[in-house]
Amino acid sequence: MEIFKGRKLIIATKHKKETIIAKHFEATLGTICEIAPSYDTDELGTFTGEIERTLSPIETVRAKCLNAMNKYGYDLGVANEGSFGPHPTLYFIPADEELMIFIDKTNNIEILVKNISTKTNFSSKNIKTRLELQNFLDQVGYPSHRIILRKEKKSNKNIIKDLTELPEIKNAFDNFIKINGEAYIETDMRAMNNPTRMKIIEETTLLLIEAIQSTCPKCYFPGFTPIQFISGLPCALCSLPTKSIQSKILGCKKCGYELKKEFKKNKPFEDPQFCDYCNP
């Protein structure tokens, strides 16, 4: 896109996310992607809890992006923030929720996308034996996916991160068993140590670029994206409105033009199992 072409863009990361984000931005928008090698995104909180996160995920991703842009003097930036836990609607299934933001201070553009995926190895467990240790490692995809060990769930002292070799991991585990009788093991969700998450971040990057490339039909401003979702998709059996989303309203942040569209083109009716009348 012309308005971004040739401009320098900072990717606020210290977890190697630029390895996938940069190529897509350069290929589609023509930005020149850079990173700040010493930028510490952990100041806003860490996955492992040594620094507590006090902001909401959306506030965090925005602060991460703006901090990097302000600190290193960029007017274009991208940042990503992941959170992990039970899926918001498919309970008991772990999910990876990725937010990604694009900010252009010169043109006053801010575009944010959210991508929720059940493709994640996110997991944690108390373990007492080497067999349990081995089972966990096998289950989460070690060695391509790394793990974190600590004395107990709530303990932020003695966190063992960045162990790559199996003998080192076994050794650290044995030490915890000696002092505590058990250890707490969890998946390392930092992007560079988790190829499954890196793939989801790549998906999210493509969603963000698609959102940036959606332009207003009136003034051609980037980021013509949904500003509201409207429920009421009719039931296929009784035609009454359900709670499912029927349409979305796309809005331009520059000229204010709005356009109503069907939420999903190929889905004009809702399955009666989600109808309060047919399936109360």
Measured from the CB atom, the residue of 227 and 255 that comes closer to Zn ion is 255
Measured from the CB atom, the residue of 24 and 253 that comes closer to Zn ion is 253
Residues whose CB falls within 8 Å of the CB of residue 97, separated by 6 or more in sequence, listed in order? 57, 82, 83, 84, 85, 88, 114, 115, 116, 117
Measured from the CB atom, the residue of 51 and 219 that comes closer to Zn ion is 219
Q: What is the per-residue binding string for Zn ion in 189-218, x denoting contact by CB under 5 A? A: ---------------------------x-x
Q: What is the per-residue binding string for Zn ion in 156-185, x denoting contact by CB under 5 A? A: ------------------------------
| Binding residues among 69-98 for Zn ion as defined by CB under 5 A | none
The tokens of 247 are what?
A: 């349409």
Distance CA 18, CA 178 (A): 40
Piece of the chain touching Zn ion by CB under 5 A; list 8-16, 35-43, 110-118, 252-260: 252-260
Identify which of 225, 226, 243 has the alpha carbon closest to the alpha carbon of residue 234: 243
Identify which of 156, 125, 151, 120 has the alpha carbon closest to the alpha carbon of residue 45: 156
Measured from the CB atom, the residue of 166 and 219 that comes closer to Zn ion is 219
Measured from the CB atom, the residue of 135 and 279 that comes closer to Zn ion is 279
Piece of the chain touching Zn ion by CB under 5 A; list 52-60, 64-72, 118-126, 256-264: 256-264
Measured from the CB atom, the residue of 42 and 258 that comes closer to Zn ion is 258
Distance CA 105, CA 7 (A): 12
CB of 242 to Zn ion, least distance (A): 7
Using CB under 5 A as the binding rule, whether residue 257 contacts Zn ion is answered as: yes
Question: For Zn ion, which residue of 76, 235, 246, 270 counts as binding (CB under 5 A)?
Answer: 235
Using CB under 5 A as the binding rule, whether residue 227 contacts Zn ion is answered as: no
Distance CA 278, CA 207 (A): 36
Using CB under 5 A as the binding rule, whether residue 237 contacts Zn ion is answered as: yes
Measured from the CB atom, the residue of 70 and 239 that comes closer to Zn ion is 239
Piece of the chain touching Zn ion by CB under 5 A; list 12-20, 63-71, 87-95, 271-279: 271-279
Residues whose CB falls within 8 Å of the CB of residue 218, separated by 6 or more in sequence, listed in order? 252, 255, 257
Identify which of 57, 10, 62 has the alpha carbon closest to the alpha carbon of residue 38: 10
CB of 277 to Zn ion, least distance (A): 5
Using CB under 5 A as the binding rule, whether residue 278 contacts Zn ion is answered as: yes
Instruction: Name the site residues for Zn ion (rule: CB under 5 A).
Output: 216, 218-219, 221, 235, 237-238, 252, 254-255, 257, 272, 275, 277-278
